Amino acid sequence: MQTFEFAQLAIVGPELLLAVGAMALLMLGVFIGETSTRIVTGLSVALLAIAGLWLIWDPASGSAFNGAVLMDPFALLMKILVIIGSAAAIAMSVNFAKEENFDRFEYPILVILATVGMLIMVSANDLITLYLGLEMQALALYVIAAINRDSLRSTEAGLKYFVLGALSSGMLLYGMSLIYGFTGHTNFAGIAEAMTAERSLGLVFGIVFVLAGIAFKISAVPFHMWTPDVYEGAPTPVTAFFSAAPKIAAMAMLVRVVYGAFEPAVADWQQIITFIAIASMGLGAFAAIGQTNIKRLMAYSSIANMGFALVGLAAGSQEGVSGVVLYMIIYMAMTLGTFACILAMRRTDGMVEDITDLSGLSRSNPMMALALTIFMFSLAGIPPLAGFWAKYFVFLAAIQSELYILSVIGVLASVVGAFYYIRIVKIMWFDDGEPAFVPMAGELKVVGTIAAVFTLFYVFVAGPLSTVATAAARTFF
């Protein structure tokens, strides 16, 4: 019995490590005081690195706690991505914290606690486990959205996120209660078995409400309304974090729910996912055209990108899931690199966020202009950059599943979206120069360079990544 218990604990070992480590760092921060920010930040990145290495070198497999938590190739890959996204977001906040009176040791600790919730979301094989992970992540995110208490915009962002997040949690819980009521199970395998036998109208309503609650977490239309305001109002390192790790965790959770619990009802959820994908791609493409704030533009870009990722999910095939996994890997690299450049938009009098402030960047800082150009072209889907291949794989999966209209709408939305990405490139390279930014911080150079090299030379690692993504997707088929 004791061996069995230890085997169960090994499956959630990285989560336990991060939770205990976060408590220890919190005590350290309290005892040392406000001057502990740099120490806590450094130790937080180290703690995430240890958790990531644990997953890579000694990956557990199987289920724990009566099947409530699963560890499989899909969970392993998505957990590693979540940890990379969280560590990069903490690292990118170092210089910002020093310059913008953002020296709060609680920030990296809250990111770690949110990461614990995200790791639980990725492994959840039960509705109750899923909700526990989701709320653990959400409560930490509500706080860090409003962590800059001296900023009215940050406080407003946190309040909006909290109110709308509470609404989405209510919808999710209502859907879960319907599913439990009609199937008698909270475990995904039990739900799938009950759906195979009989599927009533109440069960379909439950599926709709659950998908609506999860759609909020990935900021998919029509549950996107929080995204532009929170992205613009939250401190920029927080926005960078929101755009990467939580999106990957929520998308992984959505994949596991629809293929783990709702797989027999594929005809029902496929329609919902298709509608959400079309609406997200359309709104993200057209609403971003008139934006002048680059963080707000990236919010609409995020909405559109989640729509593109959902195209692969709507395909309902192994190739589709593989496409979603690859899309999220590439999206995380592009968005973290872009936010590294946005965090470098600083002049001697403080941060700037207007797109026109990038005017003449090619003359004042050619390397930053080059990196941002790579990210913008990649987000626009121009070959042979990584963003092109991300869209290629999800559209190919949709075409193989005969979702031709969805694919055509996706390509048209991508063409519209290319306008505002290429407009940024035009402003950087051809418009008259604005005053130069202060030199880019070291941690931003590291993140930006790694992301730019990955985006530019993706074709050289495409084979191994496709193999890993296919292995992860095979978990459900």
Using alpha carbons, select from 104, 111, 109, 166 the residue that is nearest to residue 135: 166
- The residue-averaged pLDDT of 472-477 equals 87
Q: Would you place residue 297 in the very low, low, confident or very high pLDDT band (cuts 50, 70, 90)? A: very high
Coil vs helix vs strand at 68: coil
Q: How does pLDDT run across 414-434, given as a tens digit for each residue?
A: 999 999 999 999 999 888 877
CA–CA separation, 326 and 245 (whole Å): 15
pLDDT at 360: 84
Residue with tokens 């899309």: 327
Q: How does pLDDT run across 80-116, given as a tens digit for each residue?
A: 999 999 999 999 988 888 877 777 888 999 999 999 9
Q: Which of 58-62, 234-238, 255-259, 416-420 has the lowest mean pLDDT?
A: 58-62
What is the overall mean pLDDT for the chain? 89
CA–CA separation, 263 and 16 (whole Å): 31
- The residue-averaged pLDDT of 394-418 equals 92
Q: How does pLDDT run across 260-291, given as a tens digit for each residue?
A: 888 888 888 899 999 999 999 999 999 988 88
Coil vs helix vs strand at 347: strand
- The residue-averaged pLDDT of 202-225 equals 89
Above 80 in pLDDT, residue 2?
no
Above 80 in pLDDT, residue 4?
no
Please give the share of the chain, as a percent, with pLDDT higher than 90: 53
- The residue-averaged pLDDT of 152-175 equals 89
How far is residue 215 CA from its own chain's centroid?
A: 12
CA–CA separation, 43 and 23 (whole Å): 12
Above 80 in pLDDT, residue 66?
yes
